[in-house]
Structure 1
Amino acid sequence: MGYAFTPADVAFLRSGAGAAALAEVDALPFSDASRLHDVGVARKLLGESFAPVVETVLLRRRAVSKLDSSGSWLFTDDALQQATASAVARHRASRFAGRDVHDVTCSIGADLFALSAVASRCIGSDLDPVRLAMARNNVPGQLVVQADALRPVSRAGAVTADPARRDSSGRRKWHPADFVPPLDELAEVYAGVDLAVKCAPGLDFAVAPWADEIEVVSLDGAVREACLWTRGLATPGVSRRATVLHGGASWSVTDAEPDDCPVAAPGAWLIDPDGAVVRAGLVRHYAARHGLWQLDERIAYLSGSEPPPGIRAFRVLEHGHYTEKSLKSLLRARGIGRLEILVRGLDVDPNTLRKRLKLAGSLERTVVLTRIGSRPFFVLCEAERT
């Protein structure tokens, strides 16, 4: 859960004395071996103030891989976990360029920071006084007020929200009531303005019929979020979009593109589409764009004679009917001792299977286990970056 910051903690951290304490504690390594010792040193140096200072130093170090320019930011543990990665926040903010925008769930200000760089004017609001105080530190110069997201307090023509997620009891898919505030209530309250709602990519999109465009975004291979766009923020003629952010570059595919995609046996290459493409239901559109085909119309693996550029693709070495016994024999014959196992459409646990295969050899390869029709199928590959 992390340390429970108070408004007094935030006031201290923002003061000159707090800045000096943060600099002093930040000089400590806090490695796995030294952590207990370093916490003791901080306690001796700062007395009762040590806990928020130590927590802030550790959170800032964690934030480096997620947020830009966060070296002077303040966080809670939960807020940092929920904060939008900077690259994703910048991408989403780009649709608000030149607009007056209200971030009605601004938390510690990660999205507000990105908006402030492109919007004509922006305002942030939240109910949590601690997170609001942190947002004022993190996004100086922007108006931040305490307000309920379901009770509009501005006349901004564009609104963005990032509802918190409740405990969904381990469900893989999220529903509107799993969010605070609930998604359907947000849509009702802001029915007269352009609205963008960030939500978990596991949301059942069918329960958000009010969204004019659903965009699923991945960052460096990991699916990060879905954004529900309405009215003037949505792209005309597009209801689903997958956006892939990688290495400072980006590309998108939408359902406005052709989806003519044949089904055929594996060719020279096997392609596992980015998770955003799969989650957005745009595998066939992606395949049509790049001249690829599906192995099975219900499975997301694709094949082709040439893979799209800039992705991790798999050169096909051998393929056929899958049984554990035959795969074990094949791997032994090829001298494969390290094996990446990818599974889609079969009830196979890669870690359990890998142990049973008793690999021995010097080569490293990838095996894809899937099904074609009702038949279990394997594709033995060599992974390459194209």
Structure 2
Amino acid sequence: MPYAFSPDDVAFLVSAEGEKAIAACDGLTLTDASWLADVTAARRLVGDRYAAVLETVLLRRKATSKLDESDSWLMTSDALQQASASPVARSRAERLAGRDVHDVTCSIGADLAALARTAARCVGSDLDETRLAMARHNTAAAGVSPGLVRADALAPVTRDAVAVADPARRDSSGRRTWKPADFVPALDELATAYDGRDLVVKCAPGLDPSIVPWAREVEVVSLDGQVRESCLWSEGLATTRRRATVLRNGEAGSGGTQWTITDEEPDEAGVGEPGEWIVDPDGAVVRAGLVRHYGVRHGLWQLDERIAYLTGDAPPPGVRAFRVLEYGRYSEKELRSTLRRHDVGRVEILVRGLDVDPNTLRRRLKPSGSGEASVVLTRIGRRPTAFVCRAERVPA
């Protein structure tokens, strides 16, 4: 079970003594195999506060790929899981630059720190005293100083600021929940509490937009190829109905990249015969229902109007695409023969529109060659089709 931090724990951890205790335990291994030995060592090094210190060291390590300032932040396990990754938080904050903003569920401050850098004025609030204390420490570590107040998100303490909310998405048993009424606070209650005000709500990417009629824009956000969230924007903030935002951290020092596509762009991509390449659009594009729009932008067309794969003679820049080597009607026997002919021993399998489990199929194919390939399985009309391809990263 994750450690349950208290305000007293936070007070200790931010003190000079607490910083020394964290530093003393920072070199411990903290794996399942070493845990008992690590606990014994931590007890000897820092005494009764060992549990809070070990949890802090462990969570900072887990947060390295998610939060920019993870080596100095305080957090709980649940708060870290729900926190926005720093590039995602920055992207949202940029849309609210120059506005007065109130993060009404600020938790440990992941979004709040980004908002405070771009907002004219910024306030964060939360009911959890421990997380609020962590947010105070974390935003200071990030070099910003938003106002912080203990308050219920459903009882507004600001008047005209844009309200930003990130409702909890787990039920009392710890399972994820997708019913808006089960969010904490509930989505409908948030919309009522901030009726007439600009409202931004971070949600799970699988949320059905029809159950949040107040949201005029649904933005689906991905980071480094992984869909992270949907963001709901109220009427005063919306600029389109559907948007996909694709973020890339990039190589170290590159600053990363960002691009968006919306339903304002043309969508007459058409359906045609396979071209030289297969393109599997970013998950944000697929979840936002913008595959055809993406196809038009890049001169691609669909293999089948109901399938999200695109094809064409030149892939978009900066993507991983699949150069078609050979294709035909799919059967395991024919695919096995094709892989043998191309001397394939390592195979990646992508599937859309067919009831095929890639891992099970890979075991049955028993590829044994020296090369590698990507297999794209899909349906064109009623015809199951297999594409044997070479995956390539297209220069940006």
Distance 1:167 1:309 in 2: 42
- The residue matched to 2:221 in structure 1 has which SS? strand
1:227-376 pair list within 5 angstroms: 227-235=231-239, 238-246=240-248, 247=250, 248-376=256-384
Range with bigger deviation, 267-276 or 119-128: 119-128
Distance 1:301 1:171 in 2: 32
Matched residue, 1:58:
58
Contact (CA 8 Å) 1:104, 1:125: kept in 2 or not?
Answer: yes
Range with bigger deviation, 156-165 or 80-89: 156-165
C-alpha deviation, 1:31, in angstroms: 5.0
Deviation sequence 1:208-239 (CA, Å, 0-9, x none): 1211111101000000011001123211xx10
Distance 1:164 1:354 in 2: 38
1:215-234 pair list within 5 angstroms: 215-234=219-238
Deviation sequence 1:257-291 (CA, Å, 0-9, x none): 00011101211000000000000000000001111
- The residue matched to 2:289 in structure 1 has which SS? coil
Matched residue, 1:126:
126
Distance 1:80 1:255 in 2: 33
Distance 1:20 1:160 in 2: 36
Contact (CA 8 Å) 1:173, 1:203: kept in 2 or not?
Answer: no
Deviation sequence 1:110-162 (CA, Å, 0-9, x none): 00000110111111111111111111111133221111111111123311000
Contact (CA 8 Å) 1:339, 1:366: kept in 2 or not?
Answer: yes
C-alpha deviation, 1:205, in angstroms: 1.3
User: Normalising by structure 1, what TM-score?
Assistant: 0.96
How many corresponding residue pairs?
A: 384
Contact (CA 8 Å) 1:172, 1:202: kept in 2 or not?
Answer: no
Distance 1:86 1:308 in 2: 26
Residues 171 and 343 from structure 1, CA distance in 2 versus in 1: closer, same or farther, beyond 3 angstroms?
farther
C-alpha deviation, 1:172, in angstroms: 9.6
- The residue matched to 2:118 in structure 1 has which SS? coil
CA RMSD of aligned residues (A): 1.7
Distance 1:16 1:371 in 2: 63
**Structure 1 stretches of 4+ moved >6 Å:** 168-173
Within the candidate set 179, 184, 189, 2:183 is matched to: 179
Q: Which runs of 5+ in 2 are unaligned?
A: 251-255
C-alpha deviation, 1:169, in angstroms: 9.6
- The residue matched to 2:79 in structure 1 has which SS? helix
Distance 2:173 2:74 in 1: 30
Matched residue, 1:150:
154
C-alpha deviation, 1:20, in angstroms: 1.1
Distance 2:44 2:170 in 1: 38
Deviation sequence 1:44-88 (CA, Å, 0-9, x none): 122211000010011111111100022211000110111000000
Q: Are 1:210 and 2:197 counterparts?
A: no
Contact (CA 8 Å) 1:218, 1:243: kept in 2 or not?
Answer: yes
Contact (CA 8 Å) 1:173, 1:204: kept in 2 or not?
Answer: no
Matched residue, 2:77:
77
Aligned letter for 2:122?
C
Residues 169 and 19 from structure 1, CA distance in 2 versus in 1: closer, same or farther, beyond 3 angstroms?
closer
Distance 2:247 2:224 in 1: 6
Distance 1:172 1:54 in 2: 26
Distance 2:172 2:37 in 1: 38
Distance 1:216 1:169 in 2: 27
C-alpha deviation, 1:27, in angstroms: 3.0
Distance 1:214 1:171 in 2: 24
Aligned letter for 2:350?
L
Q: Which runs of 5+ in 1 are unaligned?
A: none
C-alpha deviation, 1:166, in angstroms: 2.3
C-alpha deviation, 1:38, in angstroms: 2.4
C-alpha deviation, 1:33, in angstroms: 5.2
Residues 139 and 7 from structure 1, CA distance in 2 versus in 1: closer, same or farther, beyond 3 angstroms?
same
Residues 80 and 173 from structure 1, CA distance in 2 versus in 1: closer, same or farther, beyond 3 angstroms?
closer
- The residue matched to 2:374 in structure 1 has which SS? strand
Matched residue, 1:39:
39
Identical positions, percent: 68
